[in-house]
Chains A and B, each alone.
Chain A
Amino acid sequence: MSPEKPTAEEPTAEEPTAEASAEPVPEEDVTRGEGAQIAAVVALTLALIGFATGLAQPKLAAPRLRAVPSAVVTEVPQAPTYGQLPEASLGPNAEWRSHLQDLARTPGDLLAPREVPSEAAKLRALEVRAKRRAYSGAPPTIPHQVSARSAASCLSCHETGLRIGDRVASPMPHRLLVNCLQCHGAPPPRALAAAKGGVKPSHFRGQAEPLRGKRASLGAPPVIPHATHMRERCVSCHGPGASSPALQSSHPWRVNCRQCHAASAAGFAK
């Protein structure tokens, strides 16, 4: 693949879909929405099962990011006593182990050749998104343990975004807000992982993630199909090195996204 290749790959130009055709087919959107809804419900159920078995681990939500088995760590680490706690290496990602030489930073390369994601890959990426969100636009829940209390520790990875080995920390898509846990729910604290039972759950069915935005004509840039409130930084999900490659832009070097991609119109209540 040559570096020029992505330019020729306006995603839908090669894969005409209902949305890519000149005629808008809203019904299609609805059906697809429902498909994704079912997927979301399945995903939610999976997440619940995962929760019930105390396995709210990153690998559940992001299949691509499986933990690297380490050749170095052979013995089971001793649990620290309270006296040792301040010194112990119990970070939020303590369950993830790798070793230094594997951890070459792989910054997103703007011009790196990029495979055209298949429709199926895109749907899978949306499924992964849906697992961590109550509805399209909901603040995602946190997939990893959080022991930190201040925004500083969240920002150290999520401020500009970070990729180490096969781990991706998405950059936050909204303006700087410093009480991260105000909106983003953490996994159950380990101390309470054994908690079971209690009241029955909710059957809330959230609005599914929208599919590709409509195009005015073949080849026109698609409109943004989702709200951009609190998602002003497009690169968070669509930039190079974003956690789901299938959602990445085919032309990441163009930075003024909304120059070409308009927001969709209908509105919130006045």
Chain B
Amino acid sequence: MDRREFLRLSALATASAAIARRVAAQEGPGKRLPQAPKPPEIPGVTWNKAPCRFCGTGCHVQVGVKDERVVAVAGDAQAEVNKGLLCVKGYHVGGILYGEDRLTQPMVRKNGELEPISWEGAIDLIATNIMKAPERFAFYGSGQWTIPEGFAAQKLMKGGLSNNHIDPNARLCMASAVTGFLSTYGVDEPASCFDDLEACDVTILWGNNPAEMHPVLFSRLMDRRSLGNPVRLIDLTTRFTRSSEMADEVMIFTPQSDLAIANCIAQQLVAKDAYDKEFVRKHCNFRGDTSPPTLWGKEISFEDYKKSLQDYTPEKVAPISGLSVGQLTLLGDVFADKTLRIVSLWCMGMNQHTQGTAINNLVHAVHLLSGHWGKPGDGPQSLTGQPAACGTVREVGTLAHALPGGRVVMNAGHRVECEKLWNLPAGRISKTPGHHTVKMFEKFCTPTDKGGDIGMIWVQVTNPGQTLPNLHKLFLAKKNLEDKFLVVSEVYPTKTTELADLVLPAALWVEKNGIFGNSERRTQQWFKMVEPPGQARDDCWQTIAVAHRLLELGHPGMKDKDGHFIFRTLDEAGREVPIWKWEHYYSVNVDRRLYEEYRPFTHKKHKNVAPYDQLVTHRGLRWPVVETKTGEWRETRWRFVEGADPFVEKGKGIQFYHSRTKDDKALIWFRPYVPPPESPDDEFTHWLCTGRVLEHWHSGTLTRRVTQLRRAAPAAYAELNPEDAAAMGVSNGDLVVLETRRGRIEIPAWVDGRARPPRGTVFVPFFDERVPINELTLDAHDPYSKQPDYKKCAVKIRKKGHA
């Protein structure tokens, strides 16, 4: 035992003793949470509920408002997601509203400088530009769009302009999870829920670091240990993270070999005859790749499946994965043990992957094959990074190929249904999918005469200038293209506004009404609590105002079948309210109006979201939400499971009622291990992995302004392995130069920092606008989901000033 190991063990021993004392002091292990808090009587402070602005966990906060400003935040003890706890971002979420440089005035670029313009002028400028060439216009949004915002943008584009060039940043974030669910279950979105975290015996992290990225969920899991209800944590990772600190097993694998590891688990289950025959017989079909491979593949027999797996024995996978035969066998044994309840968690590690769909398929496959599916605490759970990645992107379908409620533009029946629900003339919706994110920006950055068929992009609630991969190619190239027009609705100056031709100040979080949808199908509503600063206005209003201006300019798509404006809104007396005029926007609840228009769309795929008025009185409700005979609204914790999901027929137990094979069965996929598009070589010697940190949320435009968060994580860094650092003569804080085939940056080194990469690996977070690491990343993407891989490419690294 070396000294470090000794220290680790003695620290653990101290902690266990401390934990034991505390548990003894508590009133038995069953008593988990304190009573709902008694809040203080603080003069002038009123409290209201809202979901946190940041991650897909979807914690609820109580927001304290005094004199028209947010002055305090508290964890909402009535919220099931977070039970009163938050993370450091959530506790400081109020600070994001009051950055010194909030954008408060629409601005247009003239001779290279941004100059003030009136709102009327700005709206007119957008509309006239769209009118010039509606088919060259694209809308780029995000999983931070509220549901009504996304729905309005979706309707403007697909239902109004007959243009499908609308895509969200979620394409860069969870598109592969979508294709994974679709090709496995025939319908998107997680079937399980966060309640599983309390019910499981084992949690497996697949390239996931929830201690930093989904901290409240991680606490739900880890707090069990101190409450006398332990859980075993197995961490499959490419670097030793804060989550690894808490893990019972840390398995550091070679990037991309997750595919081989998952297949190896399946191989062992089959070879040892330890798979769940009953479950597989009743609920599963087998699926394999066609050549060339497609999203839907082809049916294969169990024998074919077994044969495909034969190259994935622990002995064969060990050298590919870097794991030992013992570790691989342990994983196989865990899944083979029917007495255990196993939750798999994943997020960007599996999704930002050139084989993202495949690895999603394979993790579902090991759960289905082993029968670890559909019991509380037993099943795969995909996590999302944005507050409405599920609610707005996946459910409203703000993707280039999608329509609301799980429909797609390629399907004639789906188009007809949407035209009907929207009361549009037949044929209004175009059947050709629009450009996905990478292609949209590639076309935008390509000169018009060279095939760049996107001339104008309107960006709302996201910062592609920092978050797109391979930024030189996909964003910065816009600089030299005079005829391309970039509109950005934002709250702060960002890398994206730097190249914008028109900047629109937007309202943020509780400065507007909103609805989010978190990673466990939970739809969450909040009300506006404070006024936005200066002339900042809701994104949704901006969209509707442009639509109305288009109507005035004579665009025929802005009218429905009966000649009414597509966003026509009536008050209680049945009179039309001119919501396109800002002074009238809050005379009615536009959120409620749009959401209720959207709600019937969700019924087709049994994603029935709760009525708006129910959301008002709940801390979110998990769909499908159906009305019971007694008039109550009941949510669903486990989808496709009898007793939990109201749409499962009696006696079925588990019913995948959107099955691709139309027999209520899910698909167990075999997808082979495919090497990554770029691996370290003699010149570019290291793996480069990018990601987030606890304190900052995505590109940091909000959290970097908050003192407490900035103090804790003041700058981006290159996280180095100590031996690599020593070999280069690099110490903490030294500048190093990172270079890939696409770009080059200088960045301070952090050796043995908050996480420890193995030799030959560098990690860089992407939150820091001064260190645009995405100028280095790869734009190679998954063939089906079109999601790029930000987690692995080859980089060379040297100390600054050394050749």
Residues of A within 8 A of B (CB): 26, 29-30, 33, 44, 47-48, 51, 56, 81-83, 85-87, 134-139, 141, 148-153, 155-156, 159, 175-179, 181-195, 197-207, 210, 223-230, 232, 263-270
Contacts and interface: CB of A to CB of B under 8 A. Distances in A.
Interface stretch (B65-73, B319-327, B449-457, B776-784): B65-73
Interface in B50-100: 62, 64, 66, 69-77, 84-88, 91-92, 94-100
Contact of B708 (A134, A155, A205, A264): A134
Contacts of A195: 714-715, 748
A82 B39 contact: no
Contact of A182 (B95, B219, B707): B219
Interface string B650-685: 000000000000000000000000000000000000
Given A150-B245, A198-B769, A207-B45, A264 B710 contact: no
B222 A190 contact: no
Given A181-B694, A191-B733, A225-B40, A202 B706 contact: yes
B11 A56 contact: no
Contact of B704 (A149, A199, A270): A199
B369 interface: no
Contacts of A136: 40, 42, 72
B243 to A, nearest CB: 9
B42 A207 contact: yes
B707 A202 contact: yes
B750 A151 contact: no
B185 to A, nearest CB: 32
Interface stretch (B13-21, B538-546, B563-571): B13-21
B42 A210 contact: yes
Given A86-B3, A153-B11, A199-B101, A175 B73 contact: no
A176 B47 contact: no
26 contacts: A30-B43, A51-B707, A86-B3, A135-B72, A136-B72, A150-B11, A155-B14, A177-B226, A179-B211, A182-B87, A182-B694, A183-B91, A185-B712, A191-B749, A198-B768, A201-B100, A201-B710, A202-B100, A204-B92, A204-B95, A207-B42, A226-B40, A227-B74, A263-B40, A265-B41, A267-B39
Nearest to A193: B733
B30 interface: no
A187 B711 contact: yes
B218 interface: yes
A205 B802 CA distance: 46
Contact of B71 (A26, A153, A207): A207
Given A159-B18, A177-B85, A179-B218, A199 B492 contact: yes
Contacts of B715: 192, 195, 198
Q: Which of B12, B69, B72 has the most CB of A within 10 A?
A: B72
Contacts of A139: 88, 91
B701 interface: yes
B278 interface: no
Given A181-B242, A200-B101, A155 B18 contact: yes
B290 interface: no
A175 B250 CA distance: 28
A186 B705 contact: no
B86 A229 contact: no
Nearest to A135: B72
Contacts of B601: none
A107 B381 CA distance: 48
Nearest to A151: B15
B72 A206 contact: yes
Contacts of A225: 40-41
Contacts of A228: 37-38
Nearest to B47: A268
B622 to A, nearest CB: 20
Given A82-B751, A199-B492, A47 B707 contact: yes
B753 interface: yes
Interface stretch (B165-173, B401-409, B724-732): B724-732
Nearest to A51: B711
Interface in B326-343: none
B365 to A, nearest CB: 31
B708 A141 contact: yes
Contacts of A135: 64, 71-73, 94
B661 to A, nearest CB: 43
Given A85-B752, A194-B733, A29 B95 contact: no
Nearest to B10: A152
Contacts of B219: 177-179, 182
A172 B353 CA distance: 41
B695 A185 contact: yes
A137 B219 CA distance: 20
B223 interface: yes
Given A201-B99, A226-B40, A192 B714 contact: yes
A198 B97 CA distance: 18
A82 B731 contact: yes
Contacts of B2: 86
Given A207-B71, A227-B37, A227-B39, A202 B753 contact: no
Contacts of B242: 149, 179, 181
B15 A204 contact: no
B198 to A, nearest CB: 15
A168 B246 CA distance: 28
A-B CB proximity, top 7 nearest: A229-B37, A152-B15, A195-B715, A263-B38, A191-B732, A185-B712, A264-B41
B548 interface: no
Contacts of A175: 22, 26, 34
A188 B101 contact: no
A238 B84 CA distance: 23
A223 B38 CA distance: 12
B94 A204 contact: yes
Contacts of B62: 268-269
Contact of A202 (B22, B73, B95, B749): B95
Contacts of A267: 38-39, 47
B246 to A, nearest CB: 7
A77 to B, nearest CB: 16
